[in-house]
Amino acid sequence: MFNVKYALAAVLVSSAGMAFAADHTVTQKDKQFSQSEITVKAGDTITFSNDDAIAHNLYSKSSGNEFEIPKQDPGSKNPITFKTPGEAKVQCAIHPKMKLVVKVQ
């Protein structure tokens, strides 16, 4: 006979050691990021939300976490998954003073 209580306990025990990816949001407003630094775990996703009235061009050339969002129009959101531990430096090619450090654990 199937015992729901034991089945649930088995699922909880087997998933206890698993790490789940998290979602984070970083907004852009007034030509700056909502924070200058964020710490995430490898596999986590940061959604970049353009709350500005102007377009941005976000990118990272940091090894293992390279990406580019060539044109991020106002109101748009773009998710980026950070896979490799280390530091990723995120900038805007249009507004060079916009800088964000993503610490990936």
- Domains belonging to the chain, first-starting first, are 22-104 (2.60.40.420)
Phi-psi region of 21 (alpha: psi -120 to 50; beta: other; left: phi over 0): beta
- Mean of the per-residue pLDDT values of the chain: 88
Residue 15 phi, psi (nearest 5): -90, -5
The Cα 69–Cα 71 span in angstroms is 6
Residue 6 has pLDDT above 90, yes or no: no
Place of tokens 């990936």: 104
**DSSP conformation class of 4:** H
Q: Which whole number is the average pLDDT over 58-67?
A: 97
Residue 90 has pLDDT above 50, yes or no: yes
Residue 3 has pLDDT above 60, yes or no: no
